[in-house]
Amino acid sequence: MKITKKAMAIVTFWTVACLVLTPTVAGAISYINPSESLGYASADLQETVIRVVQWALGLLALVAVIMIILGGFQWMTAGGNEERVEKAKKLISAAVIGLIIVLLAWAIVIFVVGVTTNASEGV
């Protein structure tokens, strides 16, 4: 799979921009302690682990969506070249499978949290 330098530069720029600007904007909006605003200061270990896992799964879902968009871009710019179209289709199908896995993992986390919360309330 050959990705042009311009496309890779654009993806890299936007990724870095999002990673750099998100904490900056969040800090500009709120001048309070981030751990207090996110609830980490008063949360127990189980809640903190759940939030970290959900954040990581959200990041993986974002990566999968970006891969789908990249595959669509490759398909659109294939110019009728069947080899490039097939590569784009493979990328899109792999990204969709990855997104399904992430969503199923998220569902499992929500299910386990619900079961453990109900089980601990009964004791």
pLDDT digits 0-9 by tens, 34-85:
555 555 556 677 788 888 888 888 899 899 999 999 999 999 998 889 999 9
Q: 10 Å Cβ neighbour count for 64? A: 20
How far apart are the C-alpha atoms of 42 and 78, rounded to whole Å? 52
Least confident of 17-21, 48-52, 95-99, 113-117: 17-21
The per-residue DSSP string of 47-58 comes to HHHHHHHHHHHH
Q: Which amino acid is at 25?
A: V
How far apart are the C-alpha atoms of 45 and 63, rounded to whole Å? 27
